[in-house]
Amino acid sequence: MKSPWGELQELKGASTAQEEENGVRQAFSNDVLERYSRQMLLLRFGVEGQKRLSQKSVLVIGAGGLGCPAAMYLASAGVGRLGLLDRGDSVDRSNLHRQIGHTDASVGADKCLSLRDSLMRINPGSSICTLSTGITAKFALQLILPFDIVLDCTDNVESRYIISDACAALRKPLVSGSAIGFEGQLSVYCDSEESPCYRCIFPSPPPPDCVGSCDTAGVLGPVPGVIGTMQAVEALKLAAEIEGAEVCSRRMVLYDGLSCETRVIRLRSRSKTCRACGNPEDSSQRIVNPAEFDYGSFTLAGSCATPQSTDQGRLRATALLDKGRLKDALCIDVRPKEQFDMCSIGGFQNIPITKLSKELITIQNRVGDKEIILICRRGVDSATAVSMMRKAGIENATDVIGGLDAWRQECNPEFPTY
Amino acid sequence: MTSVVLEFSGGLELLVDGKKRLEQEVPDKLTLGGLIGWIRSNLIKERHELFSQGQRIRPGVLVLINDVDWELEGKETYNLSSGDCISFISTLHGG
Ligand SMILES: [Zn+2]
């Protein structure tokens, strides 16, 4: 199959100056020597390290909070070729506090192209290829094949399994980072015979409702910065083959910015029965090519969310335009306090869904035969809240389909986006 | 009673009132599986399924025995000793 990357030029390596010109012997051109001198001065790096680095290709998947700092350090260090892969998101103003490769001027622009522009400003000699398609199971092998090292800077479970399975199949070292809130994690997979893959450590995915995202749970900007930067360190160690370097495999770094504690934990070795990198007892379970594996059902399995049957009995956002109805009802916004404090609809009080079960009795005593109207950001938690209330015997509760997002779209475009 | 240190992170601390580290007296002669069941019944007040199904930890949680992956120590069958530090770490996915 043709590579989704098209024709990639062969890696040239850093330009070496002609030997003995005007009686001077030098390893690289003046520009290269000057630009990379501080890392070449390093005892274990040197000219040879720079040469190896310039002949390696690194793929950064995800141009967000992890991918920006990782790619910026890799491009500035002189990696031979850098691939950027992102699912075609455009830069949003709410990305900028952490996705430092983008600027206010690039809000609305394609993330891959915006990041590439930043990298070219830092190091105009960089060789950068971009694809705004994201990693897909179908093309995972072809997308990863042309690269020596892969960085997982994505933000979702499905991509993490696809990337790891493809790296396991191709035995490509995978530098995996993640961050949310004040915490980050880092590990390197598949970099040696004994090194496990992501699936060795996590054979089953978490239930979808246990997975937070930076968009909903929030994140302190520099926390993914710390982890993305550490991913660049690991990638440079691998690419330059730095002597004596110990890559973070069979280990995981846990960083907690809130307490400023860093721990390194020891992980198991490669599993002999891993579906991706071992030989499972039932050989039909073996994942040879991610294209043949159904990641959608795999990551959805084990959901413990309340199934949303129908929208019957739920309110359209436009129902909130009826001021009289709101006035007579008990209106509860079940988002976390931090979100409620940022913006809310007048007349709503805040009882976060995590505190709701404690408040049920109070609500029951207070509500009488009043209607209860529940709202949240997108209409998922509020539906859960309705079913919690029904279970507790509170019958007259309903919620708003699509939550505050729908309110903004259908009724009040002035309501803040966050 | 046996005294152990319990650690929760990666969001699991939210299930135990935001506490990341607890010095806890637990019944004697527990296995790690038994400890998981005990934590579920005694420390976690709601959304128990985010922690475990009975004695089985939910997928996506790394369990460490004194900073070492529990796979290397016998998982649920490990016998708790006084002074052990057991960590429950939810994997993160954001980026
Ligand atoms: Zn594996």
Does A97 count as an annotated binding residue?
yes
| pLDDT tens digits for range B49-73 | 889 988 899 999 999 999 999 998 9
Average of pLDDT values for A46-69? Answer: 97
Compute the distance between CA of residue A47 and CA of residue A49 in angstroms, rounded to an integer: 5
Chain B residue numbers with beta carbons less than 8 Å from the beta carbon of A154 are 95
Inform me whether the C-beta atom of residue B72 falls under 8 Å from chain A C-beta atoms.
yes
CA of A161 vs chain B CAs: smallest distance (Å): 11
Q: Is the pLDDT of residue A371 over 60?
A: yes
Q: Is the pLDDT of residue A213 over 80?
A: no
Q: Is the pLDDT of residue A305 over 60?
A: no
Inform me whether the C-beta atom of residue A177 falls under 8 Å from chain B C-beta atoms.
yes
When CB atoms are compared, the residue of A204, A224, A252 closest to B59 is: A204
Inform me whether the C-beta atom of residue A261 falls under 8 Å from chain B C-beta atoms.
no
Query: In the structure, what pLDDT confidence band is assigned to residue A306 with cuts at 50, 70 and 90?
Result: very low
CA of A352 vs chain B CAs: smallest distance (Å): 13
Does A156 count as an annotated binding residue?
yes
C-alpha torsion sign, points A245, A246, A248, A249: positive
Does the predicted TM-score (pTM) go above 0.90?
A: no
Beta strand B56-57 pairing with B52-53: antiparallel
Compute the distance between CA of residue A63 and CA of residue A70 in angstroms, rounded to an integer: 9
- The predicted pLDDT at position A323 comes to 87
Does A155 count as an annotated binding residue?
yes
Q: Is the pLDDT of residue A398 over 60?
A: yes
CB count, 10 Å around CB of A94?
Answer: 13
CA of B44 vs chain A CAs: smallest distance (Å): 13
Q: Which residues of A are catalytic?
A: 214, 376
Inform me whether the C-beta atom of residue B56 falls under 8 Å from chain A C-beta atoms.
no
How many residue pairs bridge chain A and chain B with CB atoms within 8 Å of each other?
104
The C-alpha torsion from A164 through A167 and A169 to A170, rounded to 10°, is 180
Whether A206 sits inside 8 A of B64 (CB atoms) is: no
Compute the distance between CA of residue A15 and CA of residue A270 in angstroms, rounded to an integer: 39
Q: Could you report the average pLDDT of every consecutive run of 10 residues in chain B (95 residues)?
A: 95 91 95 96 89 91 94 92 96 89
Whether A267 sits inside 8 A of B64 (CB atoms) is: no
Compute the distance between CA of residue A340 and CA of residue A350 in angstroms, rounded to an integer: 7
**Residues paired with A150 in a beta bridge:** A59, A174
Q: Which residues 296-335 in chain A show a CB within 8 A of chain B?
A: 302, 304
When CB atoms are compared, the residue of B10, B59, B92 closest to A205 is: B59
For chain A, domains (ranges, CATH) are 56-300 (3.40.50.720), 317-410 (3.40.250.10)
Mean pLDDT of all residues in chain A?
91
Tokens of A191: 């970099």
Whether A354 sits inside 8 A of B58 (CB atoms) is: no
Percent of residues, chain A, with pLDDT higher than 90: 71
Q: Is the pLDDT of residue A309 over 60?
A: no
Inform me whether the C-beta atom of residue A279 falls under 8 Å from chain B C-beta atoms.
no
SS (HEC) of A23-42 = CECCCCCHHHHHHHHHHHCC
Whether B94 sits inside 8 A of A259 (CB atoms) is: no
CA distances in angstroms from A58 to A160, A231, A332, listed in the order given: 17, 12, 49
Query: In the structure, what pLDDT confidence band is assigned to residue A283 with cuts at 50, 70 and 90?
Result: confident
Inform me whether the C-beta atom of residue A262 falls under 8 Å from chain B C-beta atoms.
no
Query: In the structure, what pLDDT confidence band is assigned to residue A307 with cuts at 50, 70 and 90?
Result: very low
- The predicted pLDDT at position A162 comes to 97
Question: CB within 8 A of B23, min separation 6: which ones?
Answer: B3, B4, B5
Q: How far is the CA of A270 from the centre of ligand 1 (A)?
A: 6
Question: CB within 8 A of A292, min separation 6: which ones?
Answer: none
Specify the CATH number of the domain B2-90.
Answer: 3.10.20.30
Domain ranges of chain B: 2-90
Question: CB within 8 A of A391, min separation 6: which ones?
Answer: none
Q: How far is the CA of A277 from the centre of ligand 1 (A)?
A: 4
| pLDDT tens digits for range A87-106 | 989 999 999 999 999 999 99
Please state which of the ranges A113-117, A156-160, A224-228 shows the lowest mean pLDDT: A156-160
Q: Is the pLDDT of residue A304 over 60?
A: no
